[in-house]
């Protein structure tokens, strides 16, 4: 027997403990160990019942996702067959859920004849988040235990339910509150003289067969490009229209199909990428961090207000500072309006909002920031202004306090120089709207200490954000890539494409919107001023004249009811504007371009080549630690479709040699904006991977 499975007995009760840290995943070794032990139990006349539980805090977090791409050894049964054999045991087998039971873990438990759970246990089928369906009987057994609606909620939604809820719907038989092990043995003694109770034998009947189509409609808005949610519905539906065996067969077929498809591979990549971001060289569990119990935000504009809301949402008192009383009051007013919208939509109660508002205090006096643990500066992108603020902060803030900037483009090393604590200066780059967007680019400047890094990475978690550590460089990681891709989109417009054609291609690829619609949202004037600033760095490169010409017309985007598009009153979706089209045609003439047709494919290829090549440059310059970090940034910050796995993973799927060739090609049109990355060239020639690339 392998050591991931422990076995002991008490009287006529056998007990399996799955001990496969960190998540007790059902690896090949675990499956083999359970299978052998169950076979022995069935044969052993001395034993009347068997308990299966997990060591540590989890029961089982599911099948081992790392093994999805590996060949199963011949002597290891498939998980679904193991679960079937458990169900077929003539003697009762009890799942004792000591903690989380997810995916294959819950399926294993449902194959058992009884389920008892610790009060803190959670039970769920999260497979849909990995682009698959439950593949070991979950879609057939869960409806038999809890009915169609609850099964759909759990399988299609993917969120776990509590032990208490599971008890209420019949998914567990008892909640054990005292000593978990002895209580589960006591439960086993109670049921051991009875017979096994196979879930698969439960007869199913549907009272309302329209429920499945209702679910299909319900998931539509959030399932663009996804297959798994719909397949989940179909499989649960199949449970009601087929024999148990037929249902299992169908589930298996669909599961294998999805598991081996590109979308699930991409979503699994994202699962691991999200876990990698926390792995920072030199940082360990023992790295000292500063407890952030109080905070301050300098700048009460949209960004500053949004950041302050994050602290209030996490229960951390926050001071919001601006130069004038008016600015502070306006800022707080906007925060209240934002919260009120959440009350109107039913997300928060008025009481919650009042509690959060109480945590936000306005001030115009720097002295009020003397005792806070962290200050985040979120003022206009002006180096001198920021330096002035950091000089003030240095004077008033306690020496342990961290001083962070929310700059999206300026050099934090330069800002750090005006303080006497460069080791405590860093960037915390939130994305707009800061109270909604999950991404934080945490910027490590030249002298930022590992303790400061550890503190801001932890802070991201406290604020329920996804924090990715990046280095100092123009636009850090996300915006650096975004600006190059957006420029290429603008160049294509100068050469013959139209903004709405490009936006449609990018939307159809899976982004929430295209670069022009996004620009209208963020402000044409904002992009224009960033570009003016960038001329200092890239003045010799091709510039986007169309953006400059549009800026001159005063069409700044949604805020002026028109930018690239025109926005009719009350509409958030723009319509193509003939005036803009005329301006585009005139700009092409001005630049001496004979306008030509762009196919949708060419648009996509050029746009993504810009994104990927710049991502490779970012890695070369060590601004991101891993290709997968870039993928997380693009998923959370820009809505890169998760089922395509982020630009770096996507590049691997297309083929790096193909991407490299395209980049070399486009380099002729776009010059240094698409200067082929040396890293991309190397990885393409070696057959390497950008998604798996790590700078160390
Ligand atoms: N397989 C392999 N590794 C796993 C794993 C799994 N199922 N679950 C977690 N890990 C690793 C994870 O990579 C990390 O490793 C460590 O455990 C701690 O995780 C047939 C097809 C359980 C809620 O989708 O949601 O069953 O980075 O950092 O915040 O139908 O992990 O330390 O090296 O996330 O406490 C279905 C996925 C699988 C659950 C714990 N199950 N896991 O969260 O810690 S498919 C899932 C989670 C399946 C059957 C099918 C979370 C967690 P490392 P962590 P955490």
Q: What is the pLDDT of residues 536-569, one digit of tens each?
A: 889 899 999 999 999 999 999 998 989 999 999 8
State the chain's mean pLDDT as an integer.
96
Whether pLDDT at 667 is above 60: yes
Is residue 127 part of the annotated active site? The answer reads: yes
What's the 23 CA to ligand 1 centre distance in angstroms? 6
Rg of the chain (C-alpha set) = 28
**Digit-coded pLDDT (tens) for 86-130:** 999 999 999 999 999 999 999 999 999 999 999 999 999 999 999
Whether pLDDT at 533 is above 90: no
Tokens 């030509």 found at? 596
Rounded to whole angstroms, the Cα distance separating 469 from 441 reads: 6
Which atom of ligand 1 is closest in space to residue 126's alpha carbon? Answer: 24
Token couple for 413? 């090393």
Token couple for 509? 């690829």
Cβ neighbours, 10 Å, residue 167: 18
What's the 673 CA to ligand 1 centre distance in angstroms? 39
Token couple for 404? 């962070």
What is residue 102's three-state secondary structure?
Answer: strand
| Closest Cα to atom 30 of ligand 1 | 134
**Digit-coded pLDDT (tens) for 221-272:** 999 999 999 999 999 999 999 999 999 999 999 999 999 999 999 999 999 9
Whether pLDDT at 2 is above 60: no
Comparing CA positions, the residue from 648, 641, 642, 638 lying closest to residue 679 is 648
Mean pLDDT, residues 684-696 = 96
Which residue among 87, 127, 490, 577 is the active-site one? Answer: 127
Q: How far apart are the first and last CA of the chain?
A: 38
| Closest Cα to atom 37 of ligand 1 | 61
Mean pLDDT, residues 82-86 = 98
DSSP string, 126-146: GGGGGT----SSHHHHHHHHH
Within 6 A (CB) of ligand 1 lie 22-23, 25, 61-66, 79, 100, 102-104, 107, 126-127, 130, 132, 134-136, 138, 275
Which atom of ligand 1 is closest in space to residue 102's alpha carbon? Answer: 41
- Residue 696: what pLDDT? 82
Whether pLDDT at 630 is above 90: yes
Mean pLDDT, residues 66-74 = 94
**Digit-coded pLDDT (tens) for 180-204:** 999 999 999 999 998 888 999 999 9
Mean pLDDT, residues 428-454 = 96
Which residue among 3, 10, 67, 107 is the active-site one? Answer: 107
Of all residues in the chain, the percent with pLDDT exceeding 90 is 93
- Residue 18: what pLDDT? 98
Beta-sheet pairing, 5-10 with 93-97: unpaired
Mean pLDDT, residues 567-578 = 92
| Closest Cα to atom 51 of ligand 1 | 61
Whether pLDDT at 49 is above 90: yes
Contact assessment for residue 494 and residue 542, using Cβ atoms and an 8 Å cutoff:
no
Is residue 107 part of the annotated active site? The answer reads: yes
Q: How confident is the model at residue 453 (pLDDT cuts 50, 70, 90)?
A: very high
Rounded to whole angstroms, the Cα distance separating 134 from 138 reads: 5
**Digit-coded pLDDT (tens) for 339-369:** 999 999 888 899 999 999 999 999 999 999 9
Rounded to whole angstroms, the Cα distance separating 240 from 250 reads: 13
Which atom of ligand 1 is closest in space to residue 138's alpha carbon? Answer: 30
- Residue 1: what pLDDT? 45
| Closest Cα to atom 32 of ligand 1 | 22
- Residue 29: what pLDDT? 97
Calculate the CA 458 to chain-centre distance. 17
Lowest mean pLDDT among 58-72, 218-232, 529-543: 529-543
- Residue 83: what pLDDT? 98
Rounded to whole angstroms, the Cα distance separating 41 from 45 reads: 8
Rounded to whole angstroms, the Cα distance separating 527 from 524 reads: 5
Contact assessment for residue 47 and residue 12, using Cβ atoms and an 8 Å cutoff:
yes
Ligand 1 pocket test, candidate residues 57, 61, 628, most atoms within 8 A of CB: 61
Lowest mean pLDDT among 153-162, 172-181, 245-254, 499-508: 172-181
The residues pairing with 354 across neighbouring beta strands, listed in sequence order, are none
């Amino acid at each position: 027997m392998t050591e991931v499975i422990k076995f002991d007995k008490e009287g006529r009760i056998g007990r399996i403990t799955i001990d496969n840290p960190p998540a007790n995943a059902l690896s090949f070794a675990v499956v083999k160990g359970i299978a052998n032990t169950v076979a022995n139990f069935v044969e052993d006349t001395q034993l009347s019942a068997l308990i299966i539980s997990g060591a540590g805090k989890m029961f089982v977090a599911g099948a081992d996702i790392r093994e999805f791409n590996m060949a199963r050894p011949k002597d290891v049964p498939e998980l679904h067959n193991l679960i079937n054999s458990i169900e077929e045991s003539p003697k009762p087998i009890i799942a004792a859920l000591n903690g989380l039971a997810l995916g294959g873990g819950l399926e294993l438990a449902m194959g058992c004849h009884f389920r008892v759970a610790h009060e803190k246990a959670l039970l769920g089928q999260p497979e849909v988040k990995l682009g698959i369906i439950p593949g070991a009987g979950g879609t057939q057994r869960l409806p038999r235990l809890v009915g169609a609606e609850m099964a759909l909620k759990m399988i299609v939604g993917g969120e776990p339910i509590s032990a208490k809820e599971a008890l209420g719907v019949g998914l567990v038989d008892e909640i054990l509150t005292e000593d978990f092990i002895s209580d589960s043995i006591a439960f086993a003694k109670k049921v051991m003289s009875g017979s096994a109770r196979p879930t698969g034998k439960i007869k199913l009947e549907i009272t309302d067969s329209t429920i499945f189509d209702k679910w299909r409609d319900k998931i539509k808005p959030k399932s663009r490009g996804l297959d798994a949610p719909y397949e989940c519905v179909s499989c649960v539906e199949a449970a009601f229209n087929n024999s148990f065996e037929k249902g299992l067969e169908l589930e298996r077929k669909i599961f294998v199909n999805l598991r081996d498809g590109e979308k699930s591979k991409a979503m699994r990549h994202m699962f691991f990428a999200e876990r990698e971001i926390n792995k920072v060289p030199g940082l360990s569990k023992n790295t000292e961090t500063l407890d952030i119990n109080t905070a301050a935000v300098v700048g009460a504009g949209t960004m500053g207000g949004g950041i302050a809301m994050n602290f209030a949402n996490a229960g951390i008192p926050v001071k919001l500072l601006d130069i004038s009383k008016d600015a502070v009051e306006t800022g707080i007013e906007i925060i209240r309006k934002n919260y009120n919208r959440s009350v109107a939509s039913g997300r928060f109660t008025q009481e919650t909002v009042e509690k959060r508002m109480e945590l936000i205090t306005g001030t115009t006096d720097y002295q009020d920031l003397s005792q806070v643990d962290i200050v985040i500066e979120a003022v206009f992108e002006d180096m001198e202004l920021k330096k002035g603020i950091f000089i003030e902060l240095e004077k008033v803030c306690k020496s342990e306090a961290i001083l962070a900037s929310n700059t999206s483009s300026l050099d934090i090393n330069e800002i750090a120089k005006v303080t006497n604590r460069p080791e405590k200066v860093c960037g915390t780059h939130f994305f707009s709207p800061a109270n909604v967007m999950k991404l934080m680019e945490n910027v490590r400047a030249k002298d930022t200490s590992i303790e400061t890094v550890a503190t801001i990475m932890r802070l991201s978690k406290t604020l329920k954000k996804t924090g990715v550590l990046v280095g100092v460089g123009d636009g850090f990681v996300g915006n650096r890539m975004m600006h190059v891709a957006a420029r290429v989109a603008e160049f294509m417009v100068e050469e013959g494409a139209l903004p709405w054609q490009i936006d449609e291609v990018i939307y159809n690829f899976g982004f929430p919107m295209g670069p022009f619609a996004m620009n209208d949202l963020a402000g044409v004037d904002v992009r224009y001023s960033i570009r003016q600033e960038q001329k200092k760095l890239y003045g010799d490169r091709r510039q986007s004249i169309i953006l400059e010409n549009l800026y001159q017309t005063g069409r700044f985007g949604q805020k002026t009811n028109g930018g690239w598009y025109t926005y009719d009153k009350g509409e958030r979706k723009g319509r193509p504007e003939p005036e803009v089209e005329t301006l585009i045609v005139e700009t092409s003439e001005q630049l001496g371009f004979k306008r030509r047709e762009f196919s949708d494919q060419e648009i996509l290829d050029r746009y993504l080549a810009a994104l990927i090549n710049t991502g490779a440059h970012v890695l070369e310059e060590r601004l991101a630690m891993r290709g997968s970090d870039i993928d997380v940034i693009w998923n959370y910050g820009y809505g890169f479709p998760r089922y395509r796995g982020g630009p770096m993973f996507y590049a691997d799927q297309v083929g790096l040699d193909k991407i490299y060739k395209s980049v070399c090609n486009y380099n002729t049109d776009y010059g240094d904006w698409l200067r082929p990355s040396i890293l991309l060239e190397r990885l393409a020639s070696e057959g390497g991977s950008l998604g798996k690339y790590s700078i160390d």
